[in-house]
Structure 1
Amino acid sequence: MAAEAPTVEVSEEDGELLRAQADLWRHSFGYVTSMGLRCAVKLGVPTAIHHLGGVTSLPDLTTALSLPPSKMPYLRRLMRLLVSTGVFAKAESSSEEGPELFRLNPLSKILVDGDGDEHHGHTSLVLAATSSQYLEASLGLAEWFKKDFGEAPVPSPFEDVHGVPLLDERTASLDKEFDELVNDAVAAHDNLGIDMIVRECHYLFKGLESVTDCCGGDGTTARAIIDAHPHLKCNVLDLPKVIEKAPAHDIINYVAGDMFQAIPPAQAVMLKFVLHNWNDEDCVNILDQCKKATPSREEGGKVIIIDILVNPSLEPIIYESQMLFDVGMMTLTKGRHRDENDWGTLFMKAGFSEYKIVKKLGDRVVFEVYP
């Protein structure tokens, strides 16, 4: 056994310098975590652990993934990183001599494919966020800041690099498979927890006869609302390429259209994770169409908005994710994340008389906005 090295006391200044260097490594190599997560998703690690009962040893995981035995030491290093960053967790072995065990945690559980749980299917989000198209846009960020676009509307770095906007009818011309992946990722993000929102905010729909889910995708949210409130007549508005793939439904009225042009009339219009994709000017235009589609407040008219509310008082990991997502939105779209002052200003600019926060759920908020 090697002799234990003596502890060397360093000055506070030297300690700060060493911590600064370690922190710089953490930031500079932060992309390695993203790439490691992408690797685990592409290999199917979360799904393999799920099929192995939620806990597995390294040899069993290597076999389940059909990897060469020679790759086991490298897989251990990958799993060790992803455990340290909270993607997976360690499990207690039955004995001190037992094998090293890895298990799923809440994060990796939403990366399990094909078991039918409404929260799963987030592999598309990981693969989109770590795609070459997203990364190229991020690598062009400094050049984008230096460009003077004059009087023309400022494109996102994504549009500047690739020539087409993201989340647009033209995105498929860049890469059809990528466009489908992004649409799947948006749907996974937007639909996570919808049952919780409907359950916790059931009174949102009390007294309503009709609602239009604007940018409602394949109708997942609308179906959840109708299951809880069968009396409601529900419209789902989205782009033609989305509506044409929507599953048939006896009650939901699917409408192919453009929310900037017209929104199907209803007592309430719902915008779920829509406005954070757009700048303030576009949001005002969208909200103006919402006003046209709804009756007066006295007749029960309102707009229901579910979106991100930036709040520094949230737990640090959630607030940091909001900041990361905000710069991500800046890089990929015309959108942004907003604090309550931003939201209030937006509603007033759009000519609404009043709003209230109905519920705060983690980093998201539910607004009722009145004409």
Structure 2
Amino acid sequence: MVRLCNSMSLKCAIQLGIPDILHKHGHPMTLSQLLQSIPINKAKSRMSPRLMRVLVNSNFFIEEKNSSNQEVHYWLTPASRLLLKGAPLTVAPLVQVILDPTFTNPWHHMSEWFTHEHHATQFEAANGCMFWEKLANEPSMGRFFDEAMSCDARLVAHVLTKDYKHVIGGIRTLVDVGGGDGTMAKAIVEAAAHHKMHSY
């Protein structure tokens, strides 16, 4: 239950734009400052300390106390910097896809999938169609998923080409089959100019 609470609190923080608000502000903010910038119903603002407590305990934000008035200020951690929507290595779209009901609801259909023969997957049991059908039938969902996969590939490609050049150094030809928009393959080729790339 705690992990679910942490995950959904993270999703909420991304949707409310909390990491971006802190980043734009440029230095730690008090809760009252945050609340002035977050588009929430003011009557529900009394619950915001709980949200921030969960996010701090999950290491997505840190608390700093002002020495003069002991008021708590919130600031970004390395993890929350990966949630900035405009950042080159953001994983915000990936987190939102992972926690989207389309992808979480299948877990609620596990017993149905095990006990009925007419569903090939849990995803089909929950959504009435197979995964790729869903994305094909709902272009906005397809774009949502593609962006999530691209941001994941950008982050992994960054680490791979920066810290593991020796791993890709011996590759002469790279064939990218079904690689989405080719983000990973492009990054590898750019990191080692002698590579040849074929994308399908």
The answer for the alignment partner of 1:156 in structure 2 is 121
The answer for the alignment partner of 1:193 in structure 2 is 156
The answer for the alignment partner of 2:99 in structure 1 is 130
Q: Distance in 2 between matches of 1:202 and 1:33?
A: 35
Q: Distance in 2 between matches of 1:143 and 1:183?
A: 29
Alpha-carbon contact 2:61-2:75 (below 8 Å) kept: yes
Alignment counterpart, residue 110 of structure 1, candidates 82, 96, 99: 82
Aligned pair in 2 of structure 1 residues 128, 195: CA closer, same or farther (>3 Å)? closer
User: Alpha carbon RMSD of aligned pairs, Å?
Assistant: 2.3
- Cα drift, residue 87 of structure 1: 2.5
SS at match of 1:193: helix
The reply to whether residue 99 of structure 1 matches residue 71 of structure 2 is yes
Aligned pair in 2 of structure 1 residues 174, 86: CA closer, same or farther (>3 Å)? farther
The reply to whether residue 144 of structure 1 matches residue 144 of structure 2 is no
- Cα drift, residue 236 of structure 1: 2.2
- Cα drift, residue 176 of structure 1: 2.5
Alpha-carbon contact 2:16-2:39 (below 8 Å) kept: no
Q: Distance in 2 between matches of 1:177 and 1:184?
A: 11
Q: Distance in 2 between matches of 1:108 and 1:177?
A: 26
Alpha-carbon contact 1:55-1:102 (below 8 Å) kept: yes
Structure 2 residue runs of 5 or longer lacking an equivalent are none
Q: TM-score of the superposition, structure 2-length normalised?
A: 0.85
Q: Distance in 1 between matches of 2:128 and 2:179?
A: 27
How many corresponding residue pairs?
Answer: 200
The correspondence of residues 194-213 of structure 1 with structure 2, limited to 5 A, is 194-206=157-169, 208-213=171-176
Aligned pair in 2 of structure 1 residues 141, 231: CA closer, same or farther (>3 Å)? same
Aligned pair in 2 of structure 1 residues 54, 134: CA closer, same or farther (>3 Å)? farther
Alignment counterpart, residue 6 of structure 2, candidates 10, 27, 33: 33
Alpha-carbon contact 1:217-1:236 (below 8 Å) kept: no
Alpha-carbon contact 1:82-1:88 (below 8 Å) kept: yes
Q: Deviations over 1:205-252 (max 9, x none)?
A: 445442112333223222322222122221223xxxxxxxxxxxxxxx
Amino acid of the structure 1 residue aligned with 2:29: T
Moved over 4 A (4+): none
Q: Distance in 1 between matches of 2:103 and 2:169?
A: 41
Aligned pair in 2 of structure 1 residues 54, 113: CA closer, same or farther (>3 Å)? farther
Alpha-carbon contact 2:64-2:73 (below 8 Å) kept: yes
Identity of aligned residues (%): 25
Alignment counterpart, residue 60 of structure 2, candidates 45, 65, 87: 87
Alpha-carbon contact 1:162-1:174 (below 8 Å) kept: no
- Cα drift, residue 181 of structure 1: 1.4
SS at match of 1:192: helix
Structure 1 residue runs of 5 or longer lacking an equivalent are 1-26, 238-371
Query: Which structure shows the bigger proportion of residues in helix conformation?
Result: 2
The answer for the alignment partner of 2:130 in structure 1 is 165
Q: Deviations over 1:138-192 (max 9, x none)?
A: 111121122246xxxx7220023323322x2x22345332222122222222331
Higher RCO (CA < 8 A, seq sep 6+): 2
Q: Distance in 2 between matches of 1:189 and 1:77?
A: 29
Q: Distance in 1 between matches of 2:6 and 2:45?
A: 19
Amino acid of the structure 2 residue aligned with 1:107: A
Q: Deviations over 1:70-106 (max 9, x none)?
A: 44322222111221222322124233x2321111112
Q: Distance in 2 between matches of 1:35 and 1:205?
A: 37
Amino acid of the structure 2 residue aligned with 1:135: T
Alpha-carbon contact 1:62-1:68 (below 8 Å) kept: no
Between Structure 1 and Structure 2, whose CA radius of gyration is higher? 1
Q: TM-score of the superposition, structure 1-length normalised?
A: 0.49
Alpha-carbon contact 2:65-2:71 (below 8 Å) kept: no
Q: Distance in 2 between matches of 1:203 and 1:187?
A: 23
Amino acid of the structure 2 residue aligned with 1:138: W
SS at match of 1:198: helix
The answer for the alignment partner of 1:229 in structure 2 is 192
